[in-house]
Amino acid sequence: MSEGATGKSVIKTLSNGTRVCCMELTVAQVRGLLETKPGGDLIDELLLEDVRLPDLPLFTGLKLADLEQMLPSDLEALVDGCKEANPSFFRMLAKVASMRQTA
C-alpha cells in the first residue's frame, strides 16, 4: 500500500453545518494509538467513550485546538464516524475491555 493510499471514510455533518471526514486508519496508525501513553487531563482521557480526545486528529485530520472548540455532541458524532470507518479497531478495543473485566 502506498503512503498516500486512502481507505474507507465517513463524512459527518456537525451542528454548525461543517462536514468532517472520519478516515480509516492503517494498521501502523492503530499500533501508534495503542502505544500512546495516557498523560492528558481528565477531559482528554474520559470525555469520550472508546477514544481519547487527542486521538481524534489522527482519525479526522482536524487540529486538537479545533476539537477543543466543539460541542460534546459534535465530538460524539465524530466518534460515531470513526467507529463506522474503523470497525475492526473498535471491535478490538471492545475485546480488550471485555478481557480486562474478566481478569
**pTM score of the predicted model:** 0.87
Which is more confidently placed, 41 or 101? Answer: 41
pLDDT at residue 103 above 70?
no
Q: Which amino acid is at 40?
A: G
Determine the pLDDT at residue 1: 41
Kindly report, residue by residue over 46-60, the tens digit of the pLDDT. Answer: 999 989 999 999 999
Determine the pLDDT at residue 97: 79
Residues 76 and 17 sit within 8 Å (Cβ to Cβ)? no
Return the domain boundaries, the chain: 9-102
Q: What is the rounded distance in angstroms from the CA atom of residue 75 to the CA atom of residue 20?
A: 11
Q: With H, G, I as helix, E, B as strand and everything else as coil, classify residue 61.
A: coil
Kindly report, residue by residue over 7-54, the tens digit of the pLDDT. Answer: 899 999 999 999 999 999 999 999 998 887 777 789 999 999 989 999
Q: How far is CA 102 from CA 17, 32, 49, 64, 69, in A?
A: 42, 26, 20, 34, 38
Determine the pLDDT at residue 83: 97
